[in-house]
Amino acid sequence: TQLLEQSPQFLSIQEGENLTVYCNSSSVFSSLQWYRQEPGEGPVLLVTVVTGGEVKKLKRLTFQFGDARKDSSLHITAAQPGDTGLYLCAGHLGKLIFGQGTTLQVKP
């Protein structure tokens, strides 16, 4: 059983569409991070959220931390082929616990 459940696992969309990826848990996290990983490379940190209800924006990406600090979402507006990759959420419980990831493919 995964401590952090991500959904969906796979997403294939057309360029210009919007999408949301969810990261859910029954545990409370002191912080939650989102990473993007491309084939052949290590994960790269996109954002860290620490306060319940916090919303952070990174260009076309919007990250939200749930009020109870148990869940988070990543929303991408007008997806582009360059957004293709594996998106991982990770919560800190003395160590980083990663979700299984969401593989996103954006077709031109």
Partner 1 sequence: DSGVTQTPKHLITATGQRVTLRCSPRSGDLSVYWYQQSLDQGLQFLIQYYNGEERAKGNILERFSAQQFPDLHSELNLSSLELGDSALYFCASSSLIGSQSRQYFGPGTRLTVT
Question: Can you tell me which of 10, 59, 94, 108 binds partner 1, judged by CB under 8 A?
Answer: 94
33 or 79: whose CB is closer to partner 1?
33
By beta-carbon proximity to partner 1, the closer residue of 82 and 94 is: 94
Candidates 20-28, 58-66, 76-84, 88-96: pick the segment binding partner 1 (CB under 8 A). 88-96
Give least dist CB 48 to partner 1, A: 6
The closest of 47, 19, 44, 24 to 100, measured between CA atoms, is 24
Taking a C-beta distance cutoff of 8 angstroms, is the pair 71, 22 a contact?
yes
85 binds partner 1 (CB under 8 A): no
- Given candidates 50, 56, 73, 75, which one binds partner 1 under the rule CB under 8 A? 50
What residues contact 31, with CB distance under 8 A and at least 6 apart? Answer: 48, 49, 50, 91, 92
Strand ranges of the sheet holding 71-76, from the earlier edge strand across to the other edge? 5-7, 19-24, 71-76, 61-65, 55-58
**56 binding partner 1? (CB under 8 A):** no
Selected binder of partner 1 within 23, 43, 54, 87 (CB under 8 A): 43
